[in-house]
Amino acid sequence: MRILAPILLAGVATATSAAVILNESFESDPFAHGWSVHGDTNLFHWDATNQYLRVVWDSSRTNSFCHLPLNTLLTRADSFEAAFDVWLEDIAIGTTAGKPDTFPLAVSVFNLAEAQRTNLFIGSGVTASGAGIRSAMEFNYFPTAGFGETFAAIAVSATPTNYTQFKFHHDYPTPLTTGIWHRITLAYSATNQQLVLTKTRAGLPYGAAQTVTLDAVFGDFLLDTVAISSYSDKIGRGSLLAHGVIDNLSLTLPEPPIADLTLILTNGSPAQVRFLSQTGWDYALERGTQPGDWSAASAALPGNGNWMTLMDTNTPADRAFYRVSANRP
């Protein structure tokens, strides 16, 4: 995935260099402003009356995600936070014949392309060529199957070849009580390489914080999507059926990779684009003579965390459209 910042030859576009804070209160239809569903659309419904998202976590169905793009790519070098309210009406395990064990209810920050793989199945292990999840940080809740109700913070690298790249921390026995609002916060700090899950119940601190530390052997990840995740129980011994709602989702993301974008036009000189860059990204200028028809107008250059200028040495005589692409190398 790459991030694109468009500009026009005839004008200037700017953006503010600051952390991005997204607040989704579900006061309006989320599917009208960026949310979409992969998989079974019947599992997710916007409740216009109560202004929240109704969710069915049903492991008997195909992998299904109600998701929103982050419009950036998060790696180990990027701190971020995701928080949301959850209310469960009911929850049960062993709801699929022959699968009596527990199974996770999940909310995820993950790589959408990885999550949409047809061979992704929870409970299948964590090999790079196998069916397990990759490139994800998640909140999981497991109803009890005899060992106590369990909250879990989970981090998985992009290539989890062994369990050193599948990190988790459990808090049990800690029930996600039906009929009560819980608030879940997943906060990842790039400074200390830790994912911390905290929670409240009815507005009061609840249970223990869970900390997952990424060590030197843990690989990188590329996260581009937040999702309410209903996983399939096709592989494994557990199953789940739960009904509930999600509300007041918030995301705090790093500064955008492209900010304060300015087009510089001088008679007789090539078109130039100046912007604030971020380290860890490669930037290139692209040109089109009409929208949707893009070609390279400059070589790709690594960001320096400061001002950058990209130049089109073949500026058309009449008109052109420009955009700057930012790619994770």
Angle (CA) 208-211-212 rounded to 5° is 145
The stretches of 106-181 forming alpha helices (DSSP H) are 112-115
Structure tokens at 49: 């009356």
User: Is the pLDDT reported for residue 287 higher than 50?
Assistant: yes
Burial of 106 (0-12, 13-18, 19+ CB in 10 A): buried
| Residue intervals in the chain for CATH 2.60.40 | 2-14+256-327
pLDDT in tens, 82-128: 999 999 999 999 999 999 999 999 999 999 999 999 989 887 666 65
Mean pLDDT score across all residues of the chain: 89
Residue 27, CA distances (Å) to 22, 33, 48, 83, 248 in order: 14, 11, 7, 17, 9
Give the whole-angstrom CA distance, residue 83 versus residue 59: 23
Residue indicated by tokens 């196998």: 130
Angle (CA) 96-232-61 rounded to 5° is 70
CATH fold of 20-253: Jelly Rolls (2.60.120)
- Among the residue ranges 136-140, 202-206, 239-243, 324-328, the one predicted with the least confidence is 324-328
User: Is the pLDDT reported for residue 129 higher than 70?
Assistant: no
Give CATH for domain 2-14+256-327.
2.60.40
User: Is the pLDDT reported for residue 67 higher than 50?
Assistant: yes
Q: What is the pLDDT of residue 10?
A: 32
Indicate yes or no: pTM above 0.75.
Answer: yes
pLDDT in tens, 7-38: 443 322 233 345 778 999 999 999 999 999 99
107: nearest Cα among 236, 240, 254, 225: 225
Q: What is the pLDDT of residue 283?
A: 94
Q: What is the pLDDT of residue 15?
A: 34
Q: What is the pLDDT of residue 18?
A: 53
Give the whole-angstrom CA distance, residue 322 versus residue 278: 20
pLDDT in tens, 139-166: 999 999 888 999 999 999 998 777 668 8
Give the whole-angstrom CA distance, residue 266 versus residue 309: 14
| Residue intervals in the chain for CATH 2.60.120.200 | 20-253
Instruction: Report helix, strand or coil for 151.
Output: strand
